[in-house]
């Protein structure tokens, strides 16, 4: 099992985001975290960037592409987005990018709230295994994991990121 220094990763992400937003002239972004882990990461970034507007929270359960295979998620929660996303620069935050299916679902949901000017994607971890043409604009850390390895974010307090082998006891 190995643990990451999450505070360092988050500080680097905040710097990269600040640069990217300045470069693109997106000075008033609307930050949206994907439940559950993405919201924890977004809460930290939101504070580091000193954003004034409240954080949006997205629940993608009604937009998943595997409903016919796994049914409704056992714990569904409502999304809470500011109603007006029209013409806003959205800063979408998730914990782990793997297949890209969560991000696809999140984009679909955001567009049902309105037509944003842009969407920037920031993820804490890109663990590979992409199945869709979706890449993050800002990546905290990119890891390559073996077939038996997993990565897991636990939180919200303390927020810890660990990778472990699925065969280790306790997991």
Partner 1 sequence: MRSSLQVDEHGRLRHLLTTEGLSREVLTRILDTAESFIGVGERAVKKVPLLRGKTIVNLFFEPSTRTRTTFELAAKRLSADLLNINIAASSASKGETLLDTLRNLEAMHCDMFVVRHPDSGAAHFIAQHAAPHVSVLNAGDGRHAHPTQGLLDMFTIRRQRGDFTRLKVAIVGDILHSRVARSQIHALTTLGVPDVRVVAPRTLIPAQAETLGVHVYHDMTAGLRDVDVVMMLRLQKERMQGGLLPSEHEYYRFYGLTHEKLAVARPDALVMHPGPLNRGVEIASDVADGASSLILQQVSYGIAVRMAVMSLTLGSHASTQSAGSH
Give me the half-sphere count of Cα atoms (radius 13 Å) on the Cβ side of residue 161.
Answer: 23
46 binds partner 1 (CB under 8 A): no
Stretch that binds partner 1, among 25-33, 48-56, 107-115, 141-149 (CB under 8 A): 107-115
Q: What is the CA angle 166-13-58, rounded to 5?
A: 70
Rule CB under 8 A: choose which of 113, 119, 120, 140 binds partner 1: 113
Stretch that binds partner 1, among 18-26, 45-53, 103-111, 155-163 (CB under 8 A): 103-111
Q: How far is CA 155 from the centre of its chain?
A: 14
99 binds partner 1 (CB under 8 A): yes
Strand (E) or helix (H) holding 123 = strand 118-126
112 binds partner 1 (CB under 8 A): yes
Residue 64 CB partners (closer than 8 Å, separation 6+): 70, 73, 101, 105
By CB under 8 A, name the binding residues for partner 1.
59, 61-64, 66-73, 75-80, 83, 86, 94, 96-99, 101-102, 108-109, 111-114, 127
């Amino acid at each position: 099992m190995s643990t990451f220094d999450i505070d360092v990763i988050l500080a680097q992400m905040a710097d990269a985001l600040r640069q990217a937003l300045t470069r693109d002239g997106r000075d008033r972004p609307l930050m949206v975290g994907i439940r559950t882990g993405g919201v924890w990461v977004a809460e930290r970034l939101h504070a580091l960037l000193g954003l004034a507007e409240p954080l949006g929270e997205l629940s993608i359960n009604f937009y998943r592409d595997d409903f016919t295979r796994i049914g409704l998620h056992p714990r569904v929660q409502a999304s809470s987005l500011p109603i007006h996303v029209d013409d806003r620069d959205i800063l979408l935050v998730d914990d782990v990018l793997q297949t890209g299916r969560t991000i696809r679902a999140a984009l679909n949901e955001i567009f049902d709230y309105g037509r944003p000017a842009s969407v920037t994607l920031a993820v804490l971890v890109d663990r590979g295994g992409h199945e869709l043409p979706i890449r993050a604009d800002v990546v905290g850390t990119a890891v390559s994991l073996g077939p038996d390895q997993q990565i897991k974010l636990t939180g919200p307090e303390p927020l810890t990121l660990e990778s472990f082998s699925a065969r280790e006891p306790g997991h």
